[in-house]
Amino acid sequence: MNDAENIYGKAIIFSAPSGAGKTTVVKHIIEKIPELSFSISACSRKKRTNEINGVDYHFLDLEEFQNKIKADEFIEWEEVYENKFYGTLKSEINKIWNINKHVIFDVDVVGGISLKKYFGGNALSIFIEPPSIEVLENRLKSRNTDSNEDIKTRVNKAIEELNYKNQFDHCIMNDDLNETLKNADNLIVEFLKK
């Protein structure tokens, strides 16, 4: 039995390739289900102009992130892109459970699989699938936040990440946002009743 089975609270894990819509889904879920609190991931990438430290991510420089890895301060972490690390701080989860809420994650695909393994039956993992790679690429371009090179990298990674969707408890195709939100709501409400 690992530590996750001895603690209060459940974990809802959303993963998807970048641009599939998981952040939109997670924001909706948080507004709709007050028993959930968002786990703010840590990352070593540069902050985008519209992002706020401690709200969107805990922005750490590369050395600080690597020191926290050495100090075993993460439940999971991954080098998603070269020198761009993302991870879940143990302190973040404890903070949420200490206020008697369940935790909801918006993480990359490998992080989602790692979190599901860690939390086991206390977690519900949901993969948000884009309707196609072309739609995904268009969504990434319409964001206007990444260079063409970054978009190409994200699309190539998305193609690889789609191979992992069967490792999640559920997969929701995000081709109709309202339907996607309804499906996600229903899955979570049922899981939290257990």
Tens of pLDDT along 4-31? Answer: 444 468 999 999 998 898 989 999 999 9
Cα separations in angstroms, 23 against 13, 18, 64, 90, 187: 11, 9, 26, 21, 17
What is the domain extent for residue 31? Answer: 7-193
In the chain, how many domains are there?
1
Confidence (pLDDT) at 9: 85
pLDDT for res 8: 63
Domain contains 112: yes
Is the pLDDT assigned to residue 2 strictly greater than 50? no
Question: Which pLDDT tens digit goes with each residue over 138-179?
Answer: 888 888 777 888 888 888 989 999 999 999 999 999 999 999
What secondary structure, in 3-state letters, does the chain show? CCHHHHCCCCEEEEECCCCCCHHHHHHHHHHHCCCEEECCCEECCCCCCCCCECCCEEECCHHHHHHHHHCCCEEEEEEEECCEEEEEEHHHHHHHHCCCCEEEEEECHHHHHHHHHHHHHHEEEEEEECCCHHHHHHHHHHHCCCCHHHHHHHHHHHHHHHHHHHHCCEEEECCCHHHHHHHHHHHHHHHHHC
**Band of residue 194 on the pLDDT scale cut at 50, 70, 90:** confident
Instruction: Estimate to the nearest angstrom the gap between the alpha carbon of 72 and the chain centroid.
Output: 20
Token reading at 85 = 């690390």
Instruction: Say which residue, 3 or 40, is predicted with more confidence.
Output: 40
**What pLDDT was estimated at residue 95?**
93
Instruction: Let me know if residue 118 belongs to a domain.
Output: yes
Q: Is residue 1 part of a domain?
A: no
Q: Which residues pair with 127 in a beta bridge?
A: 15, 171
- Please write the tens of the pLDDT for every residue from 60-114: 999 999 999 999 999 999 898 788 999 999 999 999 999 999 999 998 898 899 9
Q: What is the CATH number of the domain that holds 101?
A: 3.40.50.300
Domain presence at residue 143: yes
Distance CA 168, CA 190 (A): 16
User: Residue 122 above 90 pLDDT?
Assistant: yes
Residue 181 resides in a domain: yes
Among 64, 95, 100, residue whose Cα is nearest residue 87: 64
Asked whether residue 80 is assigned to any structural domain, the reply reads: yes
Radius of gyration of the chain (CA): 16
Planar angle of CA 81, 46, 112, nearest 5 degrees: 45
The pLDDT value recorded for residue 6 is 40
The confidence band for 3, taking pLDDT boundaries of 50, 70 and 90, is very low
Residue 12 is predicted with a pLDDT of: 97
> Which residues touch 101 (CB under 8 Å, ≥6 apart)?
9, 35, 36, 37
Interval 43-68 mean pLDDT: 93
